[in-house]
Amino acid sequence: MLRYIVNRLLIVVPLLLALTVLLFLYVHAVPGDPIAGMLGPNGTPELVAQIRADRGLDRPLLEQYWSWLSGLVTGDLGVSLISGQDITPIVIARIPATLQLTFAGLFFVILIGFPAGYLAGKHKGGWLDRILSPAALIGLSMPAFWVGTLLILVLGVQLRWFPTGGYVAFEDNAWQSLRLTLMPALVLGITLSPFLARMVRASTAELAHEPFIVQARTRGLLPGTISRRYLLRNAILPVVIVIGMQLGTLIGGQVIVEQLFNWPGVARLLIEGAVRRDYLLVQSLIFVIAVIYIVINLLTEVVHASLDPRVRL
């Protein structure tokens, strides 16, 4: 297992390096000067030049890249072009909110997607399947911003059950924090669970034809034993894989949901940075997100290996 992780990291490092080059070039190719944009009509050419020099933007590109990269290695994400603040503490401050939303979202994805897929697959062609399968198709085609707006309008504005947006740290006020998390997490759950449900349905339905399920019946096992130990335990296996596969979508959904619900997470920071053309911030954030993506992917593989004894890492 350890060797596997080390091996994976050895592949990941050159990949990340390539990513930094691409990111750096891409962001710098975007037209418009962030400093001039920030200062607006007040920006005299002298002032712009001064701030540019202050942020190190007048140095050759290669030198800029090198100082950014050597910063990344030591955990220093650089300085915001706009505010001049260190980026690392800003990002760290945003991480708890993002993690809270991610895990709450995953919770709903699994809570909705797994039972729906499992039951539909177990009773394939039954009444439940005939309701759930089209429902999953509809769910798949609903964009997150639309579901989010709908929830805000109905649960927030009409019924006034939940606040329409904002964030309170869990340790400050747990109850309020959960109330605020529910709707954005539900949006992630509703929009991302149909895919999981479809995968679980397909794999559960296939299980029914597996020789070991047939053999379990010839051994006269109780129906409950067959459901729990044979169907359920094998149907869980694809869940981890699907979640690993869906990470990208999850992060994408996060960007929309954080924006919609005024959620001060990493994804929203990214949008803020992009709007202000704070390209060092954008560049560093995308890098951080890529690292998180890789770590979680690795984690899902470890979890999968621990659930399925046939997988050896």
Partner 1 sequence: MIEIKPLISVENLTVEFPVRGSAVRAVDDVSFEVGHGEIVGLVGESASGKSTLGLSLMRMVPSPGRVRARRMEFDGRDLSALDESQLRQIRGSEISLIVQDALATMNPVTTVLEQITEVVRDHEGVRSRRVLRARAAQALRDVQLPDVEINLRRYPHELSGGMQQRVAIAQGLILGPKLIIADEPTTALDVTVQAQILSLLKQIRDGGTSIIFVTHDLATVAEICDRVLVMYAGRIVESGTVAEVFAEPQHPYTQGLLASLLPLGGDPPKRLDAISGQPPRPEAWPSGCRFHPRCPLWKSKGEPEICVNEDPQPDESRTHWAACHFAGEGVR
| Residues at the contact surface with partner 1, assessed by CB under 8 A | 210-212, 214-222, 225, 229-230, 233-234, 237, 307-310
Q: How far is the CB of 107 from partner 1 (least distance, A)?
A: 24
* Residue located via tokens 């539900």: 186
- Shortest distance in whole angstroms from residue 197 CB to partner 1: 21
**Considering the complex, what minimum distance in angstroms separates the CB of residue 96 from partner 1?**
35
Nearest to partner 1 of 158, 218 (CB atom)? 218
Shortest distance, position 303 Cβ to partner 1, whole Å: 14
Cα dihedral across residues 66, 72, 74, 77: positive or negative: positive
CB of 85 to partner 1, least distance (A): 50
**Residue with tokens 């919609």, as numbered in its chain:** 260
Please, which residue, 230 or 287, has the CB nearer to partner 1?
A: 230
d(CA 109, CA 193): 5
What is the Cα–Cα distance from 23 to 286, expressed in whole angstroms? 8
Integer CA distances (angstroms), 219 to 39, 154, 227, 236, in order: 78, 52, 14, 23
**Least CB distance from residue 133 to partner 1, whole Å?**
21
Q: Nearer to partner 1 by C-beta: 40 or 224?
A: 224
Question: Rounded to whole angstroms, how far apart are CA atoms 232 and 27?
Answer: 47
Q: Give 25 or 214: the residue with its C-beta nearer to partner 1.
A: 214
> For tokens 């993002």, what's the residue?
98
Nearer Cβ to partner 1, position 59 or 123?
A: 123
Query: Which residue's entry shows tokens 């920006």?
Result: 43
Token reading at 204? 């559960």
- Number of other CB atoms surrounding residue 152 within 10 Å: 20
Cβ proximity to partner 1: between 76 and 308 the closer is 308
| C-beta separation of 157 from 99 below 8 A | no
What length does the chain have?
313
